[in-house]
């Protein structure tokens, strides 16, 4: 009987602890939804987390380049508004997801991660610079 109570308490603790209850403020979205969100947002914060060289080869209009791999990534994101949506992308979507997770940990409230990154953006012929 005693072991059943202990087991039940452990089960309840596990059920209601952290991971089962977490929600995320990161949405990974397709190109069309990403473009629609940018277009419908006044002065959107578009964050390109690729290297400066990659950024120089082409980027989404009005994007700001803050290299995810740069040691000053966190410091450089301080100029962004944490309470306003931020639209994050990289080349294929891997770095931007990691950067999005970091932004979330830093307190950014709403983060849109571009699924497939700039490669997919270009493939679907969206406005690119």
Q: Which residues are catalytic?
A: 90
d(CA 75, CA 35) in angstroms, rounded, equals 27
d(CA 105, CA 101) in angstroms, rounded, equals 6
List the structure tokens of 5.
């109570």
φ, ψ (nearest 5 deg) of residue 68: -60, -35
d(CA 80, CA 49) in angstroms, rounded, equals 13
Gyration radius of the chain over CA positions: 19
């Amino acid at each position: 009987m005693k072991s059943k109570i202990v087991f039940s308490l452990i089960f309840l603790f596990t059920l209601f602890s952290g991971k089962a209850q977490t929600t995320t403020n990161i949405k990974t979205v397709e190109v069309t939804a990403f473009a629609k969100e940018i277009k419908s947002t006044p002065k959107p914060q578009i964050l390109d987390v690729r290297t400066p060289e990659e950024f120089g080869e082409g980027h989404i209009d009005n994007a700001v380049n803050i290299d995810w791999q740069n040691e000053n990534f966190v410091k450089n994101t301080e100029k962004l508004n944490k309470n306003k949506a931020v639209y994050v992308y990289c080349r294929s979507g891997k770095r931007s997801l990691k950067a999005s997770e970091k932004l979330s940990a830093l307190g950014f409230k709403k983060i849109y991660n571009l699924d497939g990154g700039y490669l997919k953006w270009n493939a679907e012929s969206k406005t690119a610079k």
